[in-house]
Amino acid sequence: MSRTDQFLGEAAKYSANNYKPLPVVLERGQGPWVWDVDGRKYLDCLSAYSAVNQGHCHPAIVKAAQEQAARLTLTSRAFHNDQMGPFLHQLCELAGFAKALPMNSGAEAVETAIKAVRKWGHKVKGIPANQAEIIVSAGNFHGRTTTIISFSTEEQYKDGFGPFTPGFKIIPFGDAGALEQAITPNTCAFLTEPLQGEAGVIVPPDGWLRKVREITRKHNVLWVDDEIQTGLGRTGRMFAWQWENARPDALIVGKAVAGGMYPVSAFLADQNVMGVFNPGDHGSTFGGNPFGAAIGRAALTVLVEEKLADRARELGDWFMGELKKMQSPSVVEIRGKGLLIGVEIRVEAGTARPFCEALAQRGILCKETHDQVVRFAPALTVSKADLEWALPKIAEVLAMSFKPAMAGVH
């Protein structure tokens, strides 16, 4: 029995069956590359759903983690620590907001945003108690908590988990007219991703974010931009909203905030929104802990000093152009921004899963999303030479066809 089979068997025996990962067992990583327990090397083109934009085990982030782990890891928010303030200062200056509220997972930061905008709606805008509405986009993915899945349009995410949290209205993604029509006097906020990753790398029409900014400002509605996956350089700008210079009222960040070294997230806004919180209103034992804050400081520094957003833009434009040259009959469309690229597979050619399995056999790790899309999102530290190595292998796989009758044979 191979080491891979040993670990797969152990996971199958003891793990809840809530994921369907590729049968690859990874044990180490460096930069854009990872190695499995049997010594096989892969180009990681998922980057932990963009959590490792800085690459696996970046030396500067590892050094910060090691040094802080030996000093102090957790104080809780009952006391101050010497890392949280500098981290939030750095994050606020990078994002262009006055205040930040640190949390851990992306879902926690989204929950923080929901609480903030509802309280703003009730206490500042004057919406009657318990009547605040939040507009969201169809196809959204903001996390897995009960409240967040309440406004998901993916039925599997909701099946068996009700009753659900009320107060949300769903409109088509990228439709400015639908947004304006959905606004009522009780609307407190519009929560959306600027580009939908989990939905299949869905890119909205040009100018949509500017229209969102105009409409929400006109109607005194907060616009909350969820950049957990698209932010911190992934799309070729530090934040995707910067492509249209349409600054939101609030920003949600996570994943790459700590370079994949530790879960760190945050909700950012100016004082007019963040001022609704009072001591005791909201919190987190681990949010803002010195270990995560020290790692976050190093991770943000790497993004800036290595100009990773610029790299994502330049390499992403080139890489997407090379993918489009392949003109595979199995492909419907290739779309994305920066190094967040989706390749949509024709239904007649099968689902995306066997394409991802074939890529893994050739040393390239991707993961299907929404059945028909192969997502390419390597670390922003990836080199052009790395991608040139991958291109002929990708071309070989995209030239294949996995008929629906074969799609279940893995």
Active site residue 141: yes
Distance CA 50, CA 152 (A): 21
- State the catalytic residue, choosing from 141, 173, 190, 291: 141
With contact defined as beta carbons under 8 Å apart, do 362 and 393 qualify?
A: yes
Strands laid side by side in the 187-192 sheet: 99-103, 265-269, 250-253, 222-226, 187-192, 133-137, 168-171
Q: How many CA atoms lie within 13 A of 374 on its CB side?
A: 29
Distance CA 276, CA 2 (A): 56
DSSP 377-395: ---TT--HHHHHHHHHHHH
With contact defined as beta carbons under 8 Å apart, do 202 and 195 qualify?
A: yes
Distance CA 254, CA 112 (A): 12
The neighbour count for residue 386, using CB atoms within 10 Å, is 17
Distance CA 95, CA 88 (A): 10
Distance CA 183, CA 176 (A): 11
Pairing relation of β-strands 222-226 and 250-253?
Answer: parallel
Distance CA 24, CA 4 (A): 7
Chain mean position to CA 18? 19
CA angle 281, 108, 137 (to 5 degrees): 110
Active site residue 158: no
Task: Return left, alpha or beta for 287; rule: phi > 0 is left, psi -120 to 50 is alpha, else beta.
Answer: beta
- State the catalytic residue, choosing from 226, 267, 277, 376: 226
Instruction: Give the list of residues 6+ apart from residue 58 with CB closer than 8 angstroms, or none.
Output: 31, 259, 298, 299, 302, 381
- State the catalytic residue, choosing from 99, 119, 211, 255: 255
Active site residues: 141, 226, 255
